[in-house]
Amino acid sequence: MLNSYSTNESNLVMTESLDFIFESVQLAILIENTERKIEFVNPLFCNLFQLKYTPQQLINTKVLATANLFSLIFEKSAQFEKTIIEYPENAELVKSEVWKLRNGKTLLRDYLPIYNGNTLNGHIWIYREQKLSTSSFYKENNSALLENALHNIPGEIAIFNLDNQIVFANKAYINSHEKRKWAVGKTLTQYFSYANLSLETAKNRVDNISKVIEHKKAIVWEEVSISPLQQTQYLLRTCHPVFNENGEIESVIEQSIDISEQKNLEFKLKKSTDQFFNTLNSVNDVVIHTDDELKLKFVNKAWQELSGQLAEQYQSKPIFDLLSIKRYDLYAKVFSILAGKQTGHEGEVSILSKEGKEKILKYNLQRSFDVEEDKHGILATLTDITNHKLQETQLLELVKKEKELNELKTAFVNMVSHELRTPLTVISSSAEILELMIQTGKSYEEVCVYTKQIIDEVDKMTSFMQDLLMVSKIEAGKIVVHTSFVDIVQFVQRICDANFNPWKDGRKIEVEVKREPVKASIDQKMLEHALQNIIQNAFKYSSGKANPKLRLSFSKTYFTISVIDNGIGIPKNEMENLFTSFFRATNTSNISGTGIGLIVTKYFTEQHKGYVTVKSIMNKGSIFTLKLPY
C-alpha cells in the first residue's frame, strides 16, 4: 500500500503514512479463519452493511451464511456473493476493487489472504468509501506534477509532522537536493545547524510551529533576514495546521513570501507620509482631519500652540469636542458637507486661547476622501485672524469717529450759521430802519423799539457764544466745582422768578415742593445754568400750552428737581440721541435752538454726582428730572 503512494522524492512517504493512519479509522474490516468463520469484525463493518448484530454476535458465525445479508446493499449483489465464495478459494490478493452501492456511493474493497509462512491462516476483507483525498490524488499519478509545482512556487513551503520534523520542503525552502534529502525526518533546528544557518531563526520558526500544533490555529509573522547579497530581506511567514476529516491536526504547513519590495515601498510611503505630517505640523494654520464618524484622525501642532491643549488628547474624539463651541449651525454644516450635500464652507468661530483670551478663527471645511478605507471625512483648517480682526475693528472705529466728527462739524456749522444769521439779519434791518428814523427825526420812544431789538439779539448771540464757550471748557475739563451750602427751595424759586416769571408769552412756572426741604451743598453757578436750560426748553417747546411746572422733592439721601411741560415732546426713536452734541429732534422745525443746552445740564449734574432722566411722549409733553445727592 505504501508503495502505491511513493513518489520520486521519498519525502512524501511521511504524508502517505499519515494518510494511512487517518484512513484506517474509516475502514470496515472482517477477518475470517480457514474454516470461513468470522474471527474479527469491527463496528464500522456492522454500520456499513446496516447489520442488526453487534461485532460480538457475529464472531464465530459462518461467513457464507451472513454474506447474503450484506450483499443486499450492492447493485450487483449476486456477483458480490460469488466473489465471497471464490476469492478465499483462490487466496490471491485483490486490491481496490470498486463496488457500486444501491445508494449511489462507491466502496473500495481489498481482499488479503493471511499466510504464516506457506500456510494459509485466514482472510481479511477491507472496505472503504472511495473519496478524492490527498492520497487518492497522488494515486492518480499526479504526485510528480504536484511536487514539481510545489518546488517551482516562488515561495518557501515546508510540511512538518506533529513531532516538528520536516516531511517535505520545496526548493525555495532548501535549495540543494542533497540537503533537502538530508532534512526529511529532521527538525528545523537540526537542519539549521547542519546547514550552518541562524539558530535563532530556527528557534523562532520551531516555536511558531509548536504553537500552531498546540492551538490548532494559523500564525502569521514577519521575518527579517540578510540575503546572500547582504540585502535586508523581509519574509511574510504563515504557519497553518492541516486537519484530517475527523478534525484532528495531521501536519503543519509553513510557507513564506518575499515581501521586501512591498516593505521597501511601505518604508518609502511612511517616509513621505512622515514628511507630509512634518510639513503639516510646521504650518501656522490648524489642520484637522476626521473619519467618517467625525472622529479626529489628525490634528497638527498648531492646535497646541493656539489652545495649549495637546492634540493627542483629542485623538478619536468627535471634532466638536475640540472646538467645544455651541454653534449648532456649524454642526449642521459639517454634517451636510460629510454627506456630500454641500461642497465646502467657510466662516468664523471664536475659542479661548491658552492664555484665556478670545481668539477669532477663520475656518474652512471640506469633504475629504480616504482611498484606503473608501470613506469620506472632514478636512478643516483654522486660521487665527484675531489680530487681523482687531485691526479691522480699530480701522472701522476710526472711520466711524471720522464720520461722526464730520457730521458734528456740519451740524455745528449749520447751527452756528443759522443761530448767528437770524440775529444778524434782525440787527442789520433794525439798524437800517434806525438810520431812516433818525434822518426823518422820529421820536425817542419810536427809535427805542429798534434799539431794544438790537440789544435783545446781541444778548441772544452773547448767550449763545457763552454756551459754546462752556461746552469747549467742559470738553477741555477746565471747569472747577465751587460748592456752598444752600437752601434749595429758595435757590430754585429765585431762578424761576428772575428769569422766567413771566416768560415772554406771559406764562409762569409754578414751583411745587414735596416733603420737608433740606439744605444742600451745591455749585450755584453750575446748577443755575443746568436748571435754566431745562426750564427754558419747557417754555420753548410748549408754546401755547399750559404753564410748565417745577416739582421739588426731598428724600433722605438726595433731592430731585423735575420740570414738567405739556409741549411737543420728543419722538420715541430719537430719544437715544438726546445729550449728544448739537442734536435737535426732527419735530423742533422753526423753534430756534443750538443742541448744546442738554449737554451742559448733564455735565453739571454729573459734577454733583447726580444724573438726568427724561420721560417724553410726542405731542403730550416732557419731564426732565435732575436727581442730586446731598
Which residue shows C-alpha cell 469717529?
Answer: 401
Q: What secondary structure does DSSP assign to 154-169, as a single string?
A: SSEEEEE-TTSBEEEE
Give the amino acid at 429.
Answer: S
* Contact call for residue 122 and ligand ADP (CB under 6 A): no
Give the three-class secondary structure for 135: helix
Minimum gap (Å) between residue 590 Cβ and ligand ADP? 12
Three-state SS for 629? strand
* Residue 229: exposure state from Cβ atoms within 10 A (0-12, 13-18, ≥19): exposed
Nearer to ligand ADP, 453 or 533 (CB): 533
Judged by CB under 6 A, how many residues of this single chain contact ligand ADP? 21
Q: Provide the pairing of β-strand 549-554 with 510-514.
A: parallel
Report the DSSP pairing between strands 344-352 and 621-629.
unpaired
CB 547, min distance to ligand ADP, A: 13
Bond before 629 cis per omega within 30 degrees: no
**Subset of residues 316 to 355 that bind ligand ADP, contact rule: CB under 6 A:** none
By beta-carbon proximity to ligand ADP, the closer residue of 88 and 595 is: 595
Nearer to ligand ADP, 443 or 590 (CB): 590
CA distance 466 to 414: 18
Point out the residue whose Cβ comes nearest to ligand ADP: 593
Return the bridge partners of 285, or none: none
Of 28 and 535, the one with the shorter C-beta distance to ligand ADP is 535
The answer to the question of residue 423 lying near ligand ADP (CB under 6 A) is: no
Least Å from the CB of residue 574 to ligand ADP: 8
Interface mask (CB under 6 A) for ligand ADP, residues 486-525, using x and -?
----------------------------------------
366 burial (CB, 10 Å; 0-12 / 13-18 / 19+) is middle
Convert 403-434 into a string of H (helix), E (strand) and C (coil): HHHHHHHHHHHHHHHHHHHHHHHHHHHHHHHH
Nearer CB in complex with ligand ADP: 248/512 = 512
Nearest of 208, 206, 207, 218 to residue 242 by alpha carbon: 218
Stretch that binds ligand ADP, among 223-231, 382-390, 552-560, 593-601 (CB under 6 A): 593-601
Stretch that binds ligand ADP, among 81-89, 269-277, 521-529, 568-576 (CB under 6 A): 568-576
Task: State the nearest-atom distance from the C-beta of 608 to ligand ADP, in Å.
Answer: 19
Region binding ligand ADP by CB under 6 A among candidate stretches 206-214, 252-260, 323-331, 585-593: 585-593
Q: Which is nearer to ligand ADP, 259 or 578 (CB)?
A: 578
Binding mask 601-630 for ligand ADP (x = CB under 6 A): ---------------------x--------
Q: Cell numbers at residue 415, please?
A: 447751527
Nearest to 135 by CA among 288, 285, 19, 302: 19
- Which C-beta is closer to ligand ADP: that of 331 or that of 579? 579
Nearer to ligand ADP, 9 or 467 (CB): 467
Tell me if 377 contacts ligand ADP by CB under 6 A. no
Positive or negative torsion for Cα 72, 76, 78, 81: negative
Closer residue to ligand ADP, CB minimum distance, 434 or 599: 599
Residues 172, 531, 585, 626: which binds ligand ADP (CB under 6 A)? 585
533 touching ligand ADP, by CB under 6 A: yes
CB of 584 to ligand ADP, least distance (A): 3
Pure H helices in 128-198:
134-137, 143-152, 177-183, 188-194
DSSP string, 536-569: HHHHHTTTTSPPPEEEEEE-SSEEEEEEEE-S--
Contact between 547 and ligand ADP (CB under 6 A)? no
Q: Is 598 in the site for ligand ADP (CB under 6 A)?
A: yes
* Count of helices and strands (H, E) across the chain: 20, 22
Q: How far is the CB of 306 from ligand ADP (least distance, A)?
A: 50
Residue type (1 letter), 125 = W
Which three cell numbers mark 218? 494559523
Going from the C-alpha of 418 to that of each of 426, 541, 579, the distances in angstroms are 13, 19, 20
Out of 538, 550, 612, 628, name the contact with ligand ADP by CB under 6 A. 538
Would you count residue 584 as binding ligand ADP (CB under 6 A)?
yes
- How far CA 44 is from CA of 36, 102, 131, in Å, comes to 20, 18, 17
Q: Between 179 and 508, name the residue whose CB sits nearer to ligand ADP.
A: 508
Contacting range for ligand ADP; rule: CB under 6 A; set: 1-9, 88-96, 321-329, 583-591 = 583-591
Nearest CB to ligand ADP, comparing residues 343 and 590: 590
CB of residue 585 vs ligand ADP: minimum separation in angstroms? 3
Sign of CA dihedral 602, 604, 607, 609: negative
CB atoms within 10 A of CB 351: 17
H/E stretch holding 125:
strand 119-129
Q: Does 593 bind ligand ADP (CB under 6 A)?
A: yes
Residue 47: strand, helix, or coil? helix
* Contact criterion met (CB below 8 Å) for 517 and 487: yes
The distance of closest approach from Cβ of residue 569 to ligand ADP in the complex, given in angstroms and rounded to an integer, is 6
Residue 554 main-chain phi, psi, to 5 deg: -115, 125
Q: Which of 30/563 has CB closer to ligand ADP?
A: 563
Between strands 296-299 and 28-33, the pairing is unpaired
| By CB under 6 A, residue 570 contacts ligand ADP | yes
Closer to ligand ADP by Cβ: residue 15 or 542: 542
- Please identify which residue in 208, 566, 594, 607 interacts with ligand ADP, judged by CB under 6 A: 594
Say whether residue 531 binds ligand ADP (CB under 6 A).
Answer: no
Question: Binding residues for ligand ADP, per CB under 6 A?
Answer: 533, 537-538, 541, 565, 567-570, 578, 583-585, 588, 593-598, 622
